[in-house]
């Protein structure tokens, strides 16, 4: 089920209505659990088995970890959780990639025969990481395990953040799911505003940018270098507005049930370094890798060479987490290399430069790396880079992407959206948008919301199959 689908606009209010009509906490948990399985089952009901399997394994593993006092037993139970969840990821997401990259002494025919045709389950990277963090937190004695299976099952499958996060921690969400929530008009209002903000980001910004990007990236050599560069810039906007839109709708939807999910973005493109970028981009994932991979590897507490090694490992895994393709590996490694360079002295130089230059540096690194993220193969990425070099001054005003009598209107709308998007992003860098909106007087707030709805209806792009980008992960 898609957040920006008609069916979700009926599904969510119905769930909220029934939720507040129910008087017992247990019945509310059951309602949300059933709703979550229905929500996920719309993609492929058979893959509910995987969620249930991960839920059962980590529920019982966590109980065993907590109840035993022997370190060896704790290690063994934790290993079972890691093997099961990472095994799911490997089989469904990485197995074919591994087989296709077997040593050359395997014939191509043998490689093909070993590959499977399973469809990648939607959101598997998100809910497996969420359950892994739960088992590790219990192992570390950071939290106590959930004794009620239904509470834990809801934590794993809570539908607002099931498919594309945020990747939540049990210490934050489980206590909220176990608490009886009273109807609060302020929370409902806040949640609805977040959902509206998400729709604006997705339908108005991300979808409009996607239309241009898809045309240019489908045949980059057919367009001028300026158009390819502009398409790359628009893709940076598309992926940000697309993913942060999902997060806003997820957080807004959860807020309607009285659940607070973590913030996932804080205006990352106005960062002054790649280090700061990763403190503001996909925060739930970057903090997950920090807490469960980087710090266990030694973090910053080891020698310089080991720190660099740790960064390489983290961003190698970060790239692979996003997809089983060498393009994602390269994308991750680009960020890892620049983080190392910033530690080697580039960071000290950036601290002395004006903000506009450091923001330009971050945009330059992220734009070039996004090419690998967007391309289907390394060869396609190199084709895009080659096309970007064709910066003939005589073609700077050549407009060939949009066709027909509406061409100038389409470009004008796109240009206005780019300007509005930059302004919105800058505001988000300074302060969250919804709390900022709530500081306005009721009349001003009403005008802003009304104008936003009108612009969304008039200029939004409504596609039949406009999946959120991060659904593929």
Question: What are the angstrom distances between the C-alpha of 241 and each of 110, 131, 410, 435, 468?
Answer: 42, 27, 19, 19, 10
Interior angle at CA 194, CA 190 and CA 198, nearest 5: 170
Map residue 27 onto helix, strand or coil.
helix
Map residue 42 onto helix, strand or coil.
coil
Q: Is 322 noted as a catalytic residue in this protein?
A: yes
Question: What are the angstrom distances between the C-alpha of 217 and each of 387, 399, 400?
Answer: 10, 15, 13
If we measure between CA atoms, which residue out of 186, 192, 197 comes closest to residue 433?
197
User: Backbone phi, then psi, for 415, in 5-degree steps?
Assistant: -65, -45
Do 123 and 162 touch, CB atoms closer than 8 A? Answer: yes
If we measure between CA atoms, which residue out of 176, 154, 353, 162 comes closest to residue 255?
176
Residue 90, classified by CB atoms within 10 Å of its CB into exposed (0-12), middle (13-18) or buried (19+), is: middle
If we measure between CA atoms, which residue out of 46, 65, 47, 45 comes closest to residue 57?
65
The one catalytic residue among 282, 322, 335, 425 = 322
Do 336 and 312 touch, CB atoms closer than 8 A? Answer: yes
How far does CA 396 lie from the centroid of its chain?
34
Question: Distance between CA 312 and CA 340 in Å, rounded?
Answer: 8
Q: What residues are labeled active site?
A: 322
């Amino acid at each position: 089920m898609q957040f920006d689908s008609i069916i979700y606009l009926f599904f969510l209010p119905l769930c909220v209505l029934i939720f507040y009509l129910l008087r017992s906490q247990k019945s509310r948990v059951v309602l949300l659990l059933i709703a979550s399985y229905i929500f996920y089952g719309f993609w492929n009901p058979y893959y509910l088995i995987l969620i249930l399997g991960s839920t059962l394994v980590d529920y019982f593993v966590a109980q065993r970890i907590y109840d035993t006092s022997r370190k060896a037993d704790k290690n063994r139970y934790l290993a079972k959780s890691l093997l099961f969840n990472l095994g799911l990821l490997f089989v469904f997401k990485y197995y074919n990639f591994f087989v296709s990259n077997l040593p050359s002494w395997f014939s191509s025919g043998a490689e093909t025969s070993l590959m499977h045709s399973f469809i990648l389950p939607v959101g598997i990277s998100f809910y497996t990481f969420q359950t892994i963090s739960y088992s590790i937190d219990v192992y570390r004695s950071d939290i106590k395990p959930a004794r009620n299976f239904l509470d834990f099952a809801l934590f794993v499958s809570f539908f607002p953040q099931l498919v594309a996060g945020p990747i939540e921690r049990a210490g934050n969400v489980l206590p909220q799911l176990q608490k009886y929530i009273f109807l609060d008009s302020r929370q409902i209002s806040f949640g609805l505003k977040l959902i509206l903000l998400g729709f604006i980001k997705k339908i108005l910004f991300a979808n409009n940018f996607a239309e241009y990007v898809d045309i240019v990236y489908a045949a980059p050599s057919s367009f001028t270098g300026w158009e390819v560069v502009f398409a790359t810039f628009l893709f940076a906007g598309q992926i940000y507005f697309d993913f942060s839109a999902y997060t806003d709708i997820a957080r807004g939807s959860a807020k309607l049930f009285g659940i607070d999910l973590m913030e996932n973005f804080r205006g990352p493109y106005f960062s002054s370094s790649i280090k700061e970028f990763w403190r503001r981009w996909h925060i739930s994932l970057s903090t997950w890798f920090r807490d469960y991979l980087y710090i266990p590897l030694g973090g910053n507490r080891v020698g310089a060479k080991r720190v660099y090694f740790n960064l390489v490992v983290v961003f190698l895994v970060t790239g692979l987490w996003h997809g089983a393709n060498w393009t994602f590996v390269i994308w991750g490694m680009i960020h890892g290399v620049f983080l190392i360079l910033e530690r080697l002295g580039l960071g000290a130089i950036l601290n002395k430069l004006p903000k506009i230059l450091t923001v330009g540096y971050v945009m330059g690194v992220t734009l070039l790396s996004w090419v690998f993220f967007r391309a289907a193969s390394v060869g396609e990425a190199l084709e895009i880079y080659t096309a970007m070099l064709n910066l003939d001054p005589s073609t700077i005003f050549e407009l060939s992407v949009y066709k027909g009598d509406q061409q100038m209107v389409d470009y004008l709308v796109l240009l206005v959206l780019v300007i509005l998007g930059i302004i919105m992003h800058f505001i988000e860098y300074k302060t969250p948008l919804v709390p900022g909106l709530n500081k306005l007087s009721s009349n001003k707030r009403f005008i802003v919301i009304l104008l936003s709805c009108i612009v969304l209806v008039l200029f939004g792009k409504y596609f039949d199959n406009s999946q959120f980008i991060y659904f593929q992960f």
